[in-house]
A = this chain, B = another copy of it.
Amino acid sequence: MVDLSKFIVESRDLVDSVLDRLVPSADIEPVRLHEAIRWSLFAGGKRFRPALLFAAGIAFGAEEEKLVRTAAAIELIHTFSLIHDDLPAMDDDDLRRGRLTCHKKYGEATAILAGDALQTLAFKAIADDQGLSFEVRTRLISMIAEASGSPVGMVAGQQMDLDAEGRDVDFDHLQRIHSWKTGALIAASAVSGGLIGGAVDEDVATLKRFAGKLGLLFQITDDIIDITQTTETLGKTAGKDENAQKATYPGHFGIERTRELASEAANDAKLELGRLAVNTTLLSEIVDHTLNRTF
């Protein structure tokens, strides 16, 4: 039996210490920009993607020191996406994780630039990772860039999400939006761990399918939490997605069917893990943790 809570705390602390070194300190010019970056980066994030990357890497025998910079890079990209998604022109959120969003605190211009800089820092972090071969660094950058962009990544998903606002979208379309907006970078996290651990192509493909299901689960539970929690608990404006008639699972299927879909996604993810001939205990526990999460 693995102590998942301990693992999550330890991987979070490890990645946070590397993030602190990767990002310019707040007393370096331009100060406002670096303060804004740190405001959003160290805002109590769960570091879910780094934990997943660690768990996948450890399953394939990678040492933590070889995993941590890529884990940090993915968190940099995730943070960039949160900052830009919160902007007035996008989701227009004032609060995230219980405090002001980047643009509410530092202004729109600086928030846009903070997101931009976070993306450059992410790719530089991987390119400079001397613990990895040049080939692995190159493969990671290519894969993570694809998962972050368009037409099959995070930016594409955000655009499709905006396009879907106020429209009645069918289930396939809804799934596609989520698989790009949230799932792609989650899948990239698991695949990165496998690549660094030297997983063969077939196992990388399995990891990708596994993480696709996990990403789906993550999005479904996110939607459930959003409508069932109060604003105070959540630190952001609860029910906002529903109010905006956005493409959410509960809005489309109702809460009961949405909970069933969550269980199905968890089972599908575990089926994929069963195809791997390595110790996937940690990965399996992350699935359970995601299914049962309340924040």
Contacts and interface: CB of A to CB of B under 8 A. Distances in A.
Interface of A: 24, 28-30, 32-34, 37, 80, 84, 87, 89-90, 107-110, 112-113, 115-117, 119-121, 123-124, 127-128, 133-135, 137-139, 141-142, 145-146, 148-151, 153, 155-156, 158-160, 162-163
Contacts of A124: 141-142, 145-146, 149
A30 B120 contact: no
A119 B119 contact: yes
Nearest to A176: B29
Counted per complex, copies of this chain come to: 2
Contacts of A149: 116-117, 119-121, 124
A114 B162 CA distance: 13
24 contacts: A29-B151, A30-B151, A30-B160, A30-B163, A37-B150, A80-B116, A84-B112, A84-B113, A84-B116, A87-B109, A89-B108, A90-B112, A109-B159, A113-B155, A115-B116, A116-B116, A116-B119, A117-B150, A117-B156, A119-B149, A120-B153, A120-B155, A123-B123, A138-B138
A142 B116 contact: no
A179 B30 CA distance: 14
Contacts of A110: 159, 162
B112 A150 contact: no
Nearest to A87: B112
A115 B87 CA distance: 14
Contacts of A80: 116
Contact of A150 (B33, B107, B142, B150): B33
B30 A117 contact: no
A159 B113 contact: yes
A89 B112 contact: yes
A218 B146 CA distance: 33
A247 to B, nearest CB: 14
Contacts of A87: 109, 112
Nearest to A33: B159
A159 B30 contact: yes
B159 A145 contact: no
